A = this chain, B = another copy of it.
Amino acid sequence: MENISVLQLGKNAKAVETILAAASPKAKNDALAAIADALIARTDEILAANAKDLEAAQANHMSKAMQDRLLLTPQRIAGIADGVRKLISLDEVVGKVEEGFVRPNGLRIQKTRVPLGVIGIIFESRPNVTVDAATLCLKAGNCVILRGGKEAFSSNVCLTNVMREALAASGLPADAVQLVMDPTRESANALMKLSGYLDVLIPRGGAGLIRVVVENATVPVIETGTGNCHVYVDASADLAMAVDIINNGKTQRPSVCNAVESVLIHRDVAAVLLPMLKAKLDEHSVVLHGCEGTAAILGECVIPADDADYATEYLDYQLAVKLVDSLDEAMAHIKQYGTRHSECIVTRSLENAERFQREVDAAAVYVNASTRFTDGGEFGFGAEIGISTQKLHARGPMGLAELTTVKYLINGSGQIR
């Protein structure tokens, strides 16, 4: 792609959005198959582009973990292509009739799903997001403008060209997928203010990126992914189950947004539960930040916890622990510190389970299961563009339906008021 302004990208996308919106399921699926095939056929070219990014990363002393996120391999490219092929088998969402009814005057009204139009994605240095996000937008009939991090720029250019050429070869407009060719703060800001051209902007990345986008955007934004998730262990809980759920939420993949960051334990069961929990978490050397009651039971291995701990998304092998006197105290704590992502109660009490699910305000509220299940794949959506932690439009894992809006189709025979 040439280096053209963000405004021009918006104009290019708007010029073809109607074609994408009207594209048949077969046309879109053929294009997705062409993209998957091209990713495999052009693996060497993609790896060569990726090598340039890695070389720059090494020269800039990027951390090994970050370099690994940037790295593409033949296996990883095959995995990306597989992800694209999986989209083909998902049910078509455009045109789905959500509701249909006939009014007393004979008007037939159908509420149908239609694409949003043009979607902007701002993301950091994972080149797989370039393809994952673009193809999910395409499957839902949208155009996409991608603005990836500068660390993955060479990879992103190559991947975008592969997708654009595959689109064109399969008869859909190449401008359905565009990349911002100037990965600077200025271009990110321009995208945030591209009113009239972007129907929604989705930031994918860390809390810092998301905050900047939410605070600065004039286009509609869907906020994703900050998760300060809690497990509350009720006095009636199955304590072995509580240990498993906390351990899974904390240690199975600590860097993700649905990992557990704080545990609230009813004081009546703390003396029994805490030693069991510590023994399990010690297998992963989890550091505990606890209240006075926790320290009184577990001793000096507990680092004293303060407000900052309860507000922290550690994304690491660290866990805050607080003893509480009641379900009400637990829910008040969650209301104060939670980020409305995923919250869990472990209990045998029907009354407490129902109160927790009714009164806790979050995208996903669990009874007796790990918060790690808040995920499009685990929910059975087949694909996911992120997890919304806002209340408007989409909440929780966002699949294809969340990349669409609705349109009312009204058919009459001359009705007037």
Contacts and interface: CB of A to CB of B under 8 A. Distances in A.
Number of chain copies forming the complex: 2
A48 interface: no
A247 B417 CA distance: 10
Interface string A103-123: 100010100001011000000
* A-side interface mostly: mixed
Residues of A in contact with B, size category: 35 or more
Interface string A396-416: 100000000111111111111
B199 A415 contact: no
A340 to B, nearest CB: 9
A28 to B, nearest CB: 15
Contacts of A241: 414
Nearest to A335: B18
B372 A416 contact: yes
A383 interface: no
Contacts of A395: 405-408
Considering residues A368, A395, A408, which has the most beta carbons from chain B within 10 angstroms of its beta carbon?
A: A408
22 contacts: A18-B361, A101-B380, A107-B373, A199-B391, A215-B218, A241-B414, A245-B414, A252-B416, A363-B408, A366-B410, A367-B409, A368-B411, A368-B413, A369-B410, A369-B412, A370-B412, A370-B416, A370-B417, A373-B415, A379-B408, A395-B406, A396-B406
A238 interface: yes
B417 A405 contact: no
B358 A391 contact: no
B365 A410 contact: yes
B252 A417 contact: yes
Interface in A211-259: 215, 218, 220, 222, 238, 241, 244-245, 247-248, 252
Nearest to A217: B218
A90 interface: no
